Amino acid sequence: MSIRTAILGATGAVGDEFLRILEERNFPVSKLTLLASERSVGKRLKFKGEEHVLEDAAKFSWKGTELGLFSAGASRSREFAPKAAAAGVVVVDNSSAFRMDPKIPLVIPEVNPGDLKNHPGIIANPNCSTIIMAVPVWPLHRANPVRRMVVATYQAASGAGAKAMQELIDQTRDVLAGKTVKPQAFPHRIAFNLFSHNSAVAENGYNEEENKMLYETRKIFHAPDIRISTTCVRVAVLRAHTEAINLEFDRPFPEAEARRILSSAEGVQVVDDRKTNTFPMPIEATGKDPVLVGRIRQDISMPNQTGLALLAAGDQLRKGAALNAVQIAERLFPRA
Amino acid sequence: MSIRTAILGATGAVGDEFLRILEERNFPVSKLTLLASERSVGKRLKFKGEEHVLEDAAKFSWKGTELGLFSAGASRSREFAPKAAAAGVVVVDNSSAFRMDPKIPLVIPEVNPGDLKNHPGIIANPNCSTIIMAVPVWPLHRANPVRRMVVATYQAASGAGAKAMQELIDQTRDVLAGKTVKPQAFPHRIAFNLFSHNSAVAENGYNEEENKMLYETRKIFHAPDIRISTTCVRVAVLRAHTEAINLEFDRPFPEAEARRILSSAEGVQVVDDRKTNTFPMPIEATGKDPVLVGRIRQDISMPNQTGLALLAAGDQLRKGAALNAVQIAERLFPRA
């Protein structure tokens, strides 16, 4: 079994990670096509030691391709995903274009793999902050439904792409050299700073990233009533998101039970040693598949053990994006 | 009117800020004595253009000194504050040594200046994260009592002292140069990273910093039942703390009312422009007296407008430490 695969957005930070993960996991790619916008056409990228020339997405004939991994932004996805799906391609789309479309499954394989059963040729990959929160919260929610969540994020530059990661590095160097800096990829200085997430603030006072975390989680968990308040903040970290998560339950949820559940939960690695102050950190989550979870504790502000608090960290480019998409592809094209 | 003043811990990050703030505010210092541990004795520091030689705290005769500003750690405070107080000095102590002592007032001038009335010669300055949270929350709490708070912090290196600030700079330079780094002031790498606050984790699963935020706030607010759950995280920022604050109330608290109250609250500056994504940032809070507050919004996860969410940022060395202590001193020694 081998799958004719096309990657849209291969030159981006997530595209780069698609190639690495497909190779690492030995995903059975038979013919790999790398697609990009006109200005990147002709560039070359390596996959399994072989060079691939980037082709123009606008001129590509989708017929014959079985799997499309898309990460080129919502407008490209809106343009190309329906065409690809019409030609029989199954598209796993990392953009926000189709996530809230009721006909399109929004999937985290550890959470709602069953939603893959009926798809119209497009499956949406959730927002990175949503995934990194949902992976550790889901096994707890399944044991004892979460009533309300309060989350604060510490988001890496990678969520804004390769240019933003480079800006963090270059700008930090400039600040250390005493030079004045001029933010470009981000609206504000990121070096030795942090700022409220750089997405538009909606009518309800929450920014797009925060609203994604609410509405996507409701869809993925099939929990239309779950209440979530998040504050999304960009920090001077390269590529893993950290999240402080407070959970409220109707029924008591003893800390020991949460710890037991998380210790065997799929996609989760518990990093929680109080004695040595060893807890999830973004530099440790970087390059790893599981979401690291620690600071597991009974929330002292809730009565009768009805609250839990956690700290989670996950690689934004891997589980937050490319890895989750490839895991979806693995479920769609199971090996014999 | 002029006050004979001694500073203990003058060589530290907060000590440095004491000197700057006393000068800036033209605090009426008549005789300034700078005290340090033996190894710093003989060093010189400037105040109002004049050099002052550091003296040995262990050999100093406190008699005749009217005001002591202490920031040399809890054990030095335990050693010297009672001696100084016995000699008639009024000590404003920035350490944690006396904060929870029921006989010692724990004061934020904007919140509980009345507690200064009866003091036994020692007044405790609260923890920096507590102050930066309490200044914007207090005017809201006074209008409509807070039932529960969930807070996540983004704490600067300065909270761990001048060495930690230098470590952030040097280590960042080393990481950019591809060198291996060896954390010393902090237990973990801070450059392009973050970690759960580097204080011991207590029996209840919360670290010392988090427990300080709970118990100190209860004392300062005279609210023994207020429920607070915090997650304290150290980030790659030099000297201002940021905090994501979620508030729950028994009665509705419309966002517009919160905004109106915060706009005229003492010690607070509202920075909250949704259109231009202008919200509190640590580099903007640095060097400023007020706590910046923004992202003021109705918490969408609470029913009937009974929740609010905020983002606050305050200079850890100023309002979080030295400025608050000097403001206390100004209340203790009012000008004619």
What are the pLDDT tens digits along chain A (336 aa)? 799 999 999 999 999 999 999 999 999 999 999 999 888 999 999 999 999 999 999 999 999 999 999 999 999 999 999 999 999 999 999 999 999 999 999 999 999 999 999 899 999 999 999 999 999 999 999 999 999 999 999 999 999 999 999 999 999 999 999 999 999 999 999 999 999 999 999 999 999 999 999 999 999 999 999 999 999 999 999 999 999 999 999 999 999 999 999 999 999 999 999 999 999 999 999 999 999 999 999 999 999 999 999 999 999 999 999 999 999 999 999 986
DSSP string of B131-146, one letter each residue? HHHHHHHHHHHHHS-E
pLDDT band of residue B37 (cuts 50, 70, 90) is confident
The upper half-sphere exposure of residue B73, i.e. CA atoms within 13 Å in the direction of its Cβ, equals: 8
Contacts (Cβ under 8 Å, ≥6 apart) of B177:
none
Q: How far is B198 from chain A (nearest CA, A)?
A: 7
Catalytic residue among A128, A141, A197, A232: A128
Of A198, A297, A302, the CB nearest to B277: A198
> How far apart are alpha carbons A49 and A46 in whole angstroms?
6
Q: Write out chain B residues lying below 8 Å of A311, CB-based.
A: 196, 231, 233
Amino acid identity for residue A241 in this structure: H
Specify whether the CB–CB gap between B196 and A295 falls below 8 A: yes
Give me the total of CB pairs closer than 8 Å, taking one residue from chain A and one from chain B: 171
Helix axes A323-332, A13-24, angle to 10 degrees: 50
Specify whether the CB–CB gap between B72 and B12 falls below 8 A: yes
Q: Token match 């202590």: residue? A: B325
| Beta carbons of B235 and A152 less than 8 Å apart | no
> How far apart are alpha carbons B48 and B38 in whole angstroms?
25
Contacts (Cβ under 8 Å, ≥6 apart) of A117:
none
Please compute the mean of the pLDDT values over residues B97-109 and round it to a whole number: 98
Nearest Cα to Cα of residue B214 among A303, A299, A307: A299
Q: Is B166 on the interface with A (CB under 8 A)?
A: no
Please compute the mean of the pLDDT values over residues B117-138 and round it to a whole number: 97
Q: Write out chain B residues lying below 8 Å of A201, CB-based.
A: 274-275, 277
Contacts (Cβ under 8 Å, ≥6 apart) of B279:
A195, A196, B271, B272, B273, B294, B295, B311
Specify whether the CB–CB gap between B283 and B190 falls below 8 A: no
Catalytic residue among B128, B141, B197, B232: B128
Q: Write out chain A residues lying below 8 Å of B212, CB-based.
A: none
> How far apart are alpha carbons B280 and B25 in whole angstroms?
24
pLDDT over 80 at B76, yes or no: yes
Map out the domains of chain B with their CATH numbers. 3-126+321-332 (3.40.50.720), 130-316 (3.30.360.10)
| Beta carbons of B297 and A154 less than 8 Å apart | no
> How far apart are alpha carbons B5 and B31 in whole angstroms?
6
| Beta carbons of A172 and B172 less than 8 Å apart | yes
Q: Is B298 on the interface with A (CB under 8 A)?
A: yes
The upper half-sphere exposure of residue B265, i.e. CA atoms within 13 Å in the direction of its Cβ, equals: 28
| Beta carbons of A204 and B297 less than 8 Å apart | yes
Q: Where are the beta strands (DSSP E) in chain B?
A: 3-8, 29-36, 44-47, 50-53, 55-56, 67-70, 90-93, 122-124, 146-154, 194-196, 227-231, 233-235, 240-249, 268-270, 291-298, 307-315
Specify whether the CB–CB gap between A17 and A321 falls below 8 A: yes
Q: Is B293 on the interface with A (CB under 8 A)?
A: no
> How far apart are alpha carbons B258 and B294 in whole angstroms?
11
Backbone angles phi, psi at B216, to 5 degrees: -65, -40
Identify the H or E element spanning A247: strand A240-249
pLDDT digits (tens, 9 = 90+) for B195-232: 999 999 999 999 999 999 999 999 999 999 999 999 99
Q: Token match 């929990």: residue? A: A223
| Beta carbons of A307 and B238 less than 8 Å apart | no
Is the predicted ipTM greater than 0.90, yes or no?
A: yes
pLDDT over 70 at B336, yes or no: no
Q: Write out chain A residues lying below 8 Å of B148, CB-based.
A: 301-302
Cα Rg, chain A, nearest whole Å:
20
Q: Is A253 on the interface with B (CB under 8 A)?
A: no
Question: Which pLDDT score, from 0 to 100, does residue B335 have?
Answer: 82
Tokens of B88: 């008639």
> How far apart are alpha carbons B154 and B316 in whole angstroms?
11
| Beta carbons of B307 and A196 less than 8 Å apart | no
Identify the H or E element spanning B212: helix B208-221
Question: Which pLDDT score, from 0 to 100, does residue A336 have?
Answer: 67
Q: What share of chain A is helix, strand, coil (3-state, %, to 5)?
A: 35, 25, 40
User: Which 307-336 residues of chain B touch chain A by CB within 8 A?
Assistant: 307, 309, 311
Of A193, A194, A204, the CB nearest to B300: A204
> How far apart are alpha carbons A190 and B13 in whole angstroms?
24
Catalytic residue among A119, A141, A197, A241: A241
Picking from A149, A165, A172, A192 by the largest number of B CB atoms within 10 A of its own CB, the best residue to mutate is: A192
Residue of A nearest to B195 (CA): A281
Q: Is A118 on the interface with B (CB under 8 A)?
A: no
DSSP string of B4-56, one letter each residue? EEEEESTTSHHHHHHHHHHHHTT--EEEEEEEE-GGGTT-EEEETTEEEE-EE
Of B152, B214, B299, the CB nearest to A152: B152
> How far apart are alpha carbons B87 and B81 in whole angstroms?
10
> How far apart are alpha carbons A329 and B9 in whole angstroms?
60
Q: Is B111 on the interface with A (CB under 8 A)?
A: no
B160-199 burial, b if ≥16 CB within 10 A, otherwise e?
A: bbbebbebbeebbbebeeeeebebebbebbbbbbbbbbbb
Q: Write out chain A residues lying below 8 Å of B307, CB-based.
A: 229
Q: Write out chain A residues lying below 8 Å of B204, CB-based.
A: 297-298, 300
Q: How far is B90 from chain A (nearest CA, A)?
A: 36
| Beta carbons of A206 and B307 less than 8 Å apart | no
A128 is catalytic: yes
Q: Write out chain A residues lying below 8 Å of B233, CB-based.
A: 154, 242, 244, 311
Nearest Cα to Cα of residue A308 among A214, A223, A245: A245
Q: How far is B324 from chain A (nearest CA, A)?
A: 23
Backbone angles phi, psi at B180, to 5 degrees: -75, 145
Q: Token match 């996959």: residue? A: A47
Q: Write out chain B residues lying below 8 Å of A258, CB-based.
A: none
